[in-house]
Structure 1
Amino acid sequence: MPGSLAAFLIVSLFASSVSAGVYTWTDADGVVHFSDRQPLSRNHDIVTLTEPSVVPMSENIEQGRRVSTINQQVSRSLERSSSDGRSSGTGKKADARHQKTCDGYRKRLARIQQQLRAGYSNDRGNRLRRQRREVSQALSRECLLR
């Protein structure tokens, strides 16, 4: 059986070059044979081979590039934030403003989440999900990665 499966796979690989067809039959010992030549003295079946399915990989490659670019941006952002030595003088006002901005993002995100849980129509739900995505990205970019 494994030999017949291997023969079928080999025949399948070369199916594009076979123009006449593929024939299969079982001999007296129970061995299954595959050939591109029709057997003369045996009952046989014709194997119908289909074209292999092809999955375009260009979208996956582009998505991989986008993910790599985002990873590099996050790494650079983390490196900058770890090398920033904030001074205690004007840094307190900047920290307070930054904290206020982050709290605003969190409140907006909580309000959007609450509206999504309350129920919505399709158009409103799409708008709320888009807003949630934008606010979440801003929160991550400006507050969590700093």
Structure 2
Amino acid sequence: MPRITALALLVCAGLSPHAYAEIYRWTDANGAVHFSDEPPKHAEHRSLKLKETVTVPMRENVRQADNVHRSRKAVGRLLESDSTEDASASRAEEEVKTARCNNIQKRLDRIQAQLRAGYGSERGNRLRAQRRELSQQYSRQCVLG
């Protein structure tokens, strides 16, 4: 009896259609690319190899989302407790940064005015080098930082 069952299963497996059908790709005379599960009769074609799809169980995504949510809440609580103590220090740092950025901007404006006023070759190169250095400093400290 087990032999008959095993033989029946093998016959059924052999007769069942394949899960992955062959896919063909070809380009017609107008340059349009076509894809089909049947090869074209009068066109040169090639068979495509497809990668197997990856599936991830949804329960893992839900668990991970819950962990992220809990972590964000914990970080938010930590930041709220520190924010009152750091508010005055933060304002002082912001004022220093603003003063520094204003100073750099004034220096850049002065160099730009000197470049517009006219200059010799050597002096112009020196002014452009200063402008480039100050612009980079302004970008690092005031725009990005």
What's the TM-score once normalised by structure 2's chain length?
0.41
Q: Which has the higher contact order (CA 8 A, sep 6+)?
A: 1
Bigger Rg, structure 1 or 2? 2
Q: Which TM-score applies when normalising by structure 1?
A: 0.41
